[in-house]
Amino acid sequence: MTQLWFTEKQTADLKLSLRVKETIYREKSPFQQIDVVDTYQFGRVLLLDGIVQTTTVDEFVYHEMISHVALNSHANPQSVAVVGGGDGGTVREVLKHESVQQVRLIEIDGAVVEASKRFLPEISCGLDDPRAKVRIEDGIKHMAQAKEEYDVVIVDSTDPVGAAVGLFSQEFYRSVHNALKSDGILVTLAESPWTEPEAIRRVQGALRGVFPIVKLYLCNVPTYPNGLWSFSIASKVYDPTRPIRQELPFATRYYTPAIHEAAFTLPPFVQEIIAGIGK
């Protein structure tokens, strides 16, 4: 019996292979190749240029941790921007917070949004909420023009290659700093400490040149390189290691206030990656 496998080359020396039931969708947008495949192990998988972005089985870990750590570190998050994240999973989680009055999804590729609505409805469902405003535009340009508009900015982009490189620059982080209110918080993906330690150092160093409070935290996302994934969080005022609300009025599958605190307890080898940055 013929078996169909998808293989992602995660590094020059590491690959992830998933057995595929069927290819559901393929499209070449002006920005990238978009594929949705149905796999035996991780359900439906969104691929951009052959790289796993999200799956219906493990997506909740990433989307909860990129959203709730920042939102539960802010006293009253009302206005939120999500840069990238066209699948809608981060928007879905942000909208669980009753204080949020508006969340803008700023996605450069509208084809990703449409594909996610069609084939990943359990992830993209928040995009239909009246508080969610989808803007198909360049996140770098948007943040350069915004001034003190947001309580929280979440950078839910692809890896720092191609068009996304600018989303990991100090210039962009300065724009986000200006786009945030006086007590604003920024969170961005920061790659795997196993495979991209230098990328983590670059992001941390760039953020420390702009924000007074910068931290790194971890979670487990099985389909990302080696499973251990990191986020960088930068704050003007609040200590992001201390969740403000200890009881959640909504359901989660990974995030809890206790997990929130524990995520900032870094193993020594990760501490070594960021040691001495900005000194």
For the annotated catalytic residues, the residue numbers are 156
Q: What does the angle CA 133 – CA 58 – CA 213 come to, to the nearest 5 degrees?
A: 65
Let me know if 70 is exposed, middle or buried by CB neighbors in 10 A (0-12, 13-18, 19+): buried
Q: What does the angle CA 269 – CA 272 – CA 273 come to, to the nearest 5 degrees?
A: 95
Contact, 81 vs 102, CB < 8 A? no
The CA-atom distances, in angstroms, between 151 and each of 85, 103, 238 are 18, 10, 12
For 260, the enclosing helix (H) or strand (E) is helix 257-263
For 110, the enclosing helix (H) or strand (E) is helix 110-119
Q: DSSP string spanning 132-160? A: EEEEES-HHHHHHH--S-EEEEEEE---S
Q: Kindly provide the residue ranges of all beta strands, DSSP E only, lying in 41-149, ordered along the sequence.
A: 43-48, 51-55, 79-84, 102-107, 132-136
* Token pair in block for residue 258: 């206790």
